[in-house]
């Protein structure tokens, strides 16, 4: 009571600064201030902890939301043109879902984002979320190292640099998928396939995007559907190559592609090529060769006099 009376009497006489100095001469006031400061600090710490817990919960919820999304939803989230401008993601999900929870490497040629510096990598981020145990590699003619992150690695160089492609594959762990979304030039697509397809293991999948450029002259394509050297001409040859054992002569030497392409799935501007051993008719072919040899050996010898 006395302290309150003193405060009422003296406080109006002093300035605020002077009164505060006088108050701190009172040990009880000093103690109250210290307790108040401690309470305030504790309250601030509790609020900070609550904010961090909420942020962590939101991050975990966001991560959980991404992990359950379809590939199309992830494409929309990361703003890749594999859905929207194109309609690729449903086909990708159909052909690659068996790899969803396995450890493997996906290698995409072409990282994108050429309109503005520091852009690109949307599809790499999409693949990372869709395949939670996969390593994602990207190759681009420009430096896109800003996309590098956990489980994402970029390389700089040309898609027809054979030495670089061999190095990338050698550094990859269990390469299972190659996606050519690079220059879209027919000569590059054909050359890259010739270099990379043999490096894929059996069971691997090779994808070519944006095959509409096969018909565009400025990309080395042609409106003449039989023009050799275009990307779609290569794909159409694969279809015949799947059945080479049915029409080739017994002494025919099949190409690497004919021996190892076991499936071709073509969609609008998108092609999936499956790798395996294309030798379903090998035994029948061996029998035909043996029969032909026997027939030649038992054929009557022409009479020189006749």
Q: Give catalytic residue positions.
A: 184
Question: What are the backbone dihedrals phi and psi of residue 105, each rounded to the nearest 5 degrees, phi first?
Answer: -115, 135
Contact of 108 with 138, CB cutoff 8 Å: yes
Q: What does 161-229 look like in DSSP terms, one character per residue? A: -HHHHHHHHHHSSSEEEEEE-S---HHHHHHHHHHHGGGSPTT-EEEEE-GGGGG-GGGT--SSTT-TT
Contacts for 136 with CB less than 8 Å, ≥ 6 apart: 105, 106, 108, 124, 127, 128, 151, 152, 153
């Amino acid at each position: 009571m006395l302290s309150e009376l003193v405060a009422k009497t003296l406080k109006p006489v002093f300035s605020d600064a002077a009164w505060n100095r006088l108050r701190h001469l009172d040990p009880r006031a000093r103690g109250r201030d210290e307790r108040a400061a401690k309470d305030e600090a504790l309250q601030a710490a509790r609020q900070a902890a609550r904010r961090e817990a909420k942020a962590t919960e939101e991050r975990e919820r966001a991560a959980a939301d991404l992990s359950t999304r379809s590939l199309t939803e992830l494409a929309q989230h990361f703003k890749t043109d594999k859905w929207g401008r194109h309609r690729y993601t449903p086909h990708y999900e159909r052909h690659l879902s068996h790899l969803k929870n396995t450890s493997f490497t996906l290698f995409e040629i072409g990282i994108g984002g050429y309109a503005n510096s520091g852009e690109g990598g949307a599809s790499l981020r999409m693949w990372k979320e869709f395949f939670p145990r996969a390593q994602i590699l990207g190759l681009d003619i420009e430096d896109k190292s800003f996309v590098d992150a956990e489980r994402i690695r970029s390389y700089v160089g040309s898609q027809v640099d054979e030495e670089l492609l061999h190095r990338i594959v050698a550094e990859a762990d269990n390469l299972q998928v190659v996606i050519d979304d690079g220059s879209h030039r027919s000569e590059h697509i054909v050359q890259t396939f010739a270099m990379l397809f043999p490096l894929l293991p059996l069971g691997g999948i090779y994808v070519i995007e944006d095959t509409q450029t096969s018909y565009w002259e400025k990309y080395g394509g042609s409106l003449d559907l039989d023009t050799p050297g275009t990307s779609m001409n290569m794909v159409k040859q694969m279809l015949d190559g799947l059945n080479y054992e049915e029409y080739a002569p017994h002494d025919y030497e099949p190409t690497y592609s004919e021996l190892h392409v076991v499936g071709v799935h073509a969609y609008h501007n998108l092609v999936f090529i499956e790798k395996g051993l294309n030798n379903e008719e090998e035994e029948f072919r061996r029998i035909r060769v043996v029969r032909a040899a026997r027939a030649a050996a038992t054929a009557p010898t022409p009479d020189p006099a006749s």
